[in-house]
Structure formats: C-alpha cells, structure tokens
Structure 1
Amino acid sequence: MIFENKDFYVDLLEKEDLKDIVEIYNSNIDFLKNHLNTGTVTYEWMDNELETMKKANFYSCKIIKKNTNEIIGLIDFKIGKETYLSLLMVHKKYKNKGVGKSIYQSLEKYVKLFKSNCIRIDVVTNYDKNVIDFWSRNGFKNIKEIQLNWGDKILPAIIMKKKIAKIQMTNIAEEKVQ
C-alpha cells in the first residue's frame, strides 16, 4: 500500500489489474474522445501506457474502495520537490461523490512526507470546465498556458500548482508523556 484514508487505499498497479483499469478508462468516454480520439482503450494500449509511466519514474496506482475491495480509479504521480500529478481518474459511477477530492487530499498528505514544496498538474482546457474548477477548489492556481502532447494529439492546457505546507514535526517523547 502506498497511502490510504478511511474509505480508500492506493497501491501500485499490477498486470492482473489491467481489466479493471481498462474498464475505468472506458467508462470515461468524453475523456477518451477528447484526449485520445477514441471511445475505448485496449489492454495492449493500457499495458503500453503503464510501461511508459514506469520508465518515466511515475507511480501508477489503483484506487481501492476498502469496504468492497473494488478498484474504482487510478492515479499516476511522480514525487519530488515539485510532485507531478499526471492523472487522477475514477470510474464514471463514482464521479461527483467526493472520491477524487478524498484521494487528492490523501495524496497531498503523503507527498508532504517527502518534503515536496508543491504539486503540479497539467489540465486540458478544451475538455471539461469542471476539471479546472475542481483543482481550483482544491487550492491550485493557474500558472501558464501550454500545449500537451498526448499520443498523436496536441491539446491546449494550463499548468496549475499548489504550494503545500511543511509537516510540523513534534517531539514524540513529549506526546507520549501527555
């Protein structure tokens, strides 16, 4: 397990998870049409995508609902002084239910352990205005407009960043006494 909260945990994707991950991608048809010019992805495409992310030192992870052990989403990120969140996607049936926010907040707590100063995301601007609004509500600021190369497509996007506060270290001995 990479990190968790009360309802979900996040762990590395494995080959046996491909069926579930392909289903999650394919439940997000508007995303696929806008980003990849297709209505579906295949197991081969997903396997190749995971290998590409691995070679670029990203964690490609599954989001698992604790009470059912169901894979309900995926998240790709690379930890550093500036942590890069490449993708946070949940199955369509879990959208607008607080899952994305819950997972993002847990990711933010997790990367603080590695002394990240900020989190960066690149958000496609011609896709869904709600996505930009989501990240803005979570404290991200627009930094600059860019063009993203995704497969064979060039997409208009913006870099968004959020500075994250440092973890306050306390004296563990003092806590034990209280």
Structure 2
Amino acid sequence: MTEDLSRYPIEGHLTPVGALTFSKSGGWWRAIVHSEDEYGNEKIRLYLWRDNDTKGWVTKHKWNIDPDHWAEERRVVEDYAGTAVDADTPYFPVQHYNVVGGQTIKKTDEWWTAVVQYEDDYSSTHKTRLYMWQLEDNEAKGTGFKWNVRSDTWPEERDAVGRYVENLE
C-alpha cells in the first residue's frame, strides 16, 4: 500500500514525493517531507506542525535540509546544543530574543545559516535554534526557516534526518 503523501500539510506550491513521520502525538506532528516545486527543484524539509482545532495542522517550524551540508550542520549544532553561553557573541539578525552565542554554519550571497543560542523570556536558561535567513545586499530580509534544538527531541530528529539523507544516496 502506498502512503497518501497529500496528507502532509506543506506549502501549496510543493508536491510531496516522499515523507517520513517520526513523531505524531499530543497535538504535535514532526516529519521529513521530500518535495518538488513547479520547476522540478527538490526540497527536503523537516517540519513541526501543531494541531489547531479550527485550521487543522499549522506549521510552527520548518528546516530546509541540504543533504550536501547536513553533516556540517549537525556537527555545529551538536557543538552548541546545551553548551555554556559564548562570551564573545557574534551578531545574528534574530528578532525578539537576546542572543547569547552562536556560530555561522554557511553564508552565501543569498542565504545565511547559523546555530544561535538565545535567552528564553520565561526561564533563566538559554535555548538553541537553527536559523536560515534570506539575504539581499548582505542584509537579512527575513527568516524563512528555523528549528528549535531541544535536548529531548534533537537526537530523534537528527537520526531521522540522517537516515533519510543516507537513503537518498
């Protein structure tokens, strides 16, 4: 039996060609969706959806996975997740949070990918998040992609992405 890929609530301009749900409980759904846009460009994304009673499944976070750079992203995240706050914090264009550490993973003329530590408004701890900003004239023009790195979910997410990427080769 073939899985109904249309059930994955991804962007309307994308057509799913493969997917892997690795967690769906308590009103949260985490999955990897492999899709194509109208031009045949492939996208592999990690999604976190929240069940909204009136709107159905709503995207809370998504992360663009580049199989060629996944190993480097994973390494940098694992270096930063749960570590002490960096005293020499570089600039990152994060809104609404006080950035306390981070490292650029990759920066091109069009995109800037980084792992960032920030202070949580509701506790005395810091959080870790992956960010990908679109750049225009070397200025961040918005965050299209972000992913919270939590110690209780990251190992499962990391391993699911790793398996998915390995199976593409």
Same fold (TM over 0.5): no
Q: Quick one: higher RCO (CA 8 Å, sep 6+), 1 or 2?
A: 1
Normalised by the size of structure 2, how large is the TM-score? 0.30
- Which of the pair is proportionally richer in strand? 2
Normalised by the size of structure 1, how large is the TM-score? 0.29
- Which of the pair is proportionally richer in helix? 1
